[in-house]
């Protein structure tokens, strides 16, 4: 698999995970907003966007994996508004406790 660099950008009540590979200037993103406060806060996964130049490399899945890892580590739950994220939750019943 290609080397994929994923970073998380937090902007208050919104943010995104960004993925880039060494051979491309294209950037894939998974965007989210925060709904609620404190322990009841939920991250709404809004959109997963992978440019054509990056398709077929498993990047969207890696973006979702980063979101899941952070949810486990930080204790937030996820509302999968994005159809891709929702499909990944269907494929991974072990993530059920993280779903809002």
Burial label for 6, CB within 10 Å (0-12, 13-18, 19+), is middle
Q: Domain limits at 24?
A: 5-98
- Cβ atoms within 10 A of the Cβ of 39, count? 8
Which three-class secondary structure state does DSSP give residue 40? helix
Number of structural domains in the chain: 1
The pTM of this model reads: 0.92
Higher pLDDT, 17 or 3: 17
Q: Using one digit for the tens of pLDDT, what is the confidence trace for 37-71?
A: 877 789 999 999 999 999 999 999 999 999 999 99
The CATH number of residue 56's host domain is 3.40.630.30
Residues 6+ apart with CB under 8 A from 89: 78, 80, 95, 96, 99
């Amino acid at each position: 698999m290609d080397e994929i660099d994923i970073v998380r950008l937090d902007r208050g009540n919104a943010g995104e995970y960004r993925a880039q590979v060494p051979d491309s200037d294209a950037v894939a993103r998974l965007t989210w907003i925060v709904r609620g406060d404190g322990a009841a806060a939920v991250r709404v996964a809004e959109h997963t966007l992978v440019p054509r130049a990056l398709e077929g490399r498993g990047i969207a899945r890696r973006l979702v994996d980063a979101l899941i890892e952070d949810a486990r580590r930080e204790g937030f739950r996820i509302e999968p508004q994005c159809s891709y994220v929702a499909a990944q939750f269907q494929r991974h019943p072990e993530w059920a406790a993280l779903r809002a």
